[in-house]
Amino acid sequence: MATLVLTGAGNVELTRRILSDLFVVPELAGTLRVVLHDIDRERLDTAQVLADRLNAEASAGARIEAHLDRRAALDGADFVVCQLAVGGFEAALRDFEIPARYGLRQTIADTIGIGGIFRGLRTIPVLVGIAADMAECCPDAWLLSYTDPLVMSLWAVRAATGLANVAGLCHAVRDTHAFLADAVGRDVDQVSFLTAGLPHQAFVLEFAADGRSLYPELADAVAADPRLARHVRMEIWRRFGFFPTESSEHAAEYVPWFMSREAEIRRLGIPVGEYLGRLGQNLHIYEEIRRRMAAGRPMLTRWQDPEIASEVLVAMLSATPRRINLTVANDGLIPALGNDCFVEVPATVDGDGITPRRIESYPVQLAALNRTYVNVAELTVHAVLDADPRHIRHAAMLDPNTAASLPLPEIAKLCDEMMEAHRDLLPAGIVTPDLKGEA
């Protein structure tokens, strides 16, 4: 019986999607032990009721357990799916409200930027703690993480614990492939893709069918629809030559050219503060699931596309190979980016685990753009693992959107205020009053 641990299981919509996917696979019937973990008792109880309901509706024959204690949950795990939001809504709100007072605009704030840096600072210690417990309780298990910022958190996990079986999960590549196929009037299964780079900043290197590139057809489709042309990712494609995987609202805040300019925000329809609306929607979804269960409504759902975690788990457990874009340790997969970094590349997933594909010829301009992202991630990792708060300011000063929006003295003041606001969620060695006037 394979043991799957869902930590952060109180994110009940994702828990529902993953378990629905797994419980309807005939080959997995009676083979799963599902262990739920969360630090919030009410959410954990909700997740357990949900999992029991799904198990019964699917006649899946799974064993369901729930634990507030993390080490008890991890004991004997084969797979750990991580879905964390350290600090919850209140921390995310501070990530937006404080920078906004300085005139710094953000959209999602979960990857780089001031919001991404501070999300990383409070998330890395928790994820490293989970990985350290895994190294003792289930050293051969796979850690499959949805938790942003992916590059920062997984980089820190590997550096701090040496945990080998680690991969990050993101929907962006799959969604982009579907968007591009639709844009040129084809089914996604008819198109050949090769996509690689960083999570939230990867690029479609090959977009082809019938032995020819479909990029000319995409150009025709965009030319025929002025509304389609007015998006950040279209602008990046035109300038860099390859289509980016991340949505326009995400992509806008990883670069210096858009968020600091009111005219560009209007021209490209950039939704400043978008993530706060999404958080509100997530709270609504949680309450709606509780209402549906209380009313006795069916909870098992067959989604059009399975969750990324579900695809990986089914491929490994059934030894059925699948090709999935995943975030893994670079180790030379994209030579132009540092080996310690984590990158997003196509991988074959099967009963032997994850075998990533090396990208032989990654365009130099894409690597250069990626390195501006990697700089911020690397410095944030060092801020936590070296307990050196100076690197928080270094990361912020080198962040493209922050540097384009604020002068150095304001960046320093903003970092100080953010450190104080998040004090209770940050490692003690980072929050210090001794940086006044220092880099």
Residue with tokens 């050196």: 388
Q: If you ran DSSP here, which 8-state letter would residue 439 be given? A: -
Please calculate the CA angle 43-50-1 and round it to the nearest 5 degrees: 105
Q: Which of 37, 171, 231, 422 is catalytic?
A: 171
Q: From CA 80, how far away is CA 327, in angstroms rounded?
A: 15
Rounded to whole angstroms, how far apart are CA atoms 92 and 108?
10
Residue 243 backbone class (left: φ over 0; alpha: ψ -120 to 50; beta: rest): beta
Q: Is 171 a catalytic residue?
A: yes
Read off the amino acid at residue 134.
M
Sort residue 433 into left (φ over 0), alpha (ψ -120 to 50) or beta: alpha
CA angle centred on 13, ends 233 and 146, rounded to 5°: 55
Q: Is the peptide bond before 149 cis (omega within 30 degrees of 0)?
A: yes
As a whole number of angstroms, the distance between CA 133 and CA 150 comes to 19
Evaluate whether 2 touches 318 at the Cβ level (below 8 Å): no
Integer angstrom CA distances of residue 4 from 48, 81, 178, 211, 427: 14, 8, 29, 41, 29
Measured CA to CA, the distance from residue 91 to residue 346 in angstroms comes to 33
Residue numbers annotated as active site:
171
